[in-house]
Amino acid sequence: MIRKPPTLDPYPKIYLYRRLVQAKLFIDDHYAEAIDIDNMADEATFSKFHFIRLFKTTYGKSPHQYLTSVRIENAKQLLQTDITVTETCERVGFNSITSFIGLFKRFTGLTPSAYQQQQHDRHAALIQNPLHFIPNCFAEKKGWTPPHPKP
C-alpha cells in the first residue's frame, strides 16, 4: 500500500513563532518580576541558545534588551502620574535606581525626573489649551472652534 505523505503546512514556521510569541507575551505580562532568560526560554520551550537567536532574528533585539525596553515603556507610563522615580523603578522591575536612571536616559534622552516634569507640563498645557494640540480643520468640523472665513 502506498502511503500518502502527511499534508504539509504551507507555513510550518507558524508553530515556531507561536512558541516565540508565548515567550514575548510572558515578558509583557511579567516584566515587573525578577524574570531571567531561563524563565523566558522555558516559556517558549526552546533551548536558551536557540531562543535567544530566534528572538533576536525576529524582533531585532535580544530578549534581555526587549525586557529592558518594556520596563522603560512602562516606567514612562507611570511617570505621567505623581509616582516617585524610586517607586517607578521598583514597580517596573529594576533593582538598582542608578541603572534605572542610566537606562531611562539612554532610551529617552531624559532623566526620569526630567521626563516626568516634561509630561506634567504637557498635560497641564493640554488641559488649559486643548485646541493647541488639535489641527484646526478637525476642531472646526467638530464644532470646537468658530468656522473660518470662506476664501
In the complex, the residues that contact other proteins under the rule CB under 8 A are 11, 13-14, 17-18, 20-22, 24-25, 58-60, 126-127, 130, 133-135, 138, 141-144
**Least Cβ distance, residue 95 to other proteins (angstroms):** 26
Closest CA to 73 of 97, 92, 46, 48: 92
**Least Cβ distance, residue 116 to other proteins (angstroms):** 17
Residue 21 or 117: which CB sits closer to other proteins? Answer: 21
For residue 107, which phi and psi values (nearest 5 degrees)? -80, -35
Q: What's the chain's length in residues? A: 151
85 in Cβ contact with 112 (< 8 Å) = yes
**Least Cβ distance, residue 96 to other proteins (angstroms):** 27
Query: 111: Cβ–Cβ under 8 A, 6 or more apart, which residues?
Result: 101, 104, 105
- The amino acid that residue 58 corresponds to is T
Q: Per the structure block, which three cell numbers stand in for 82?
A: 505623581
Residue 2 or 127: which CB sits closer to other proteins? Answer: 127
Residue 77 or 86: which CB sits closer to other proteins? Answer: 77
Closest CA to 104 of 122, 119, 88: 88
**Least Cβ distance, residue 133 to other proteins (angstroms):** 5
Residue 16 or 97: which CB sits closer to other proteins? Answer: 16
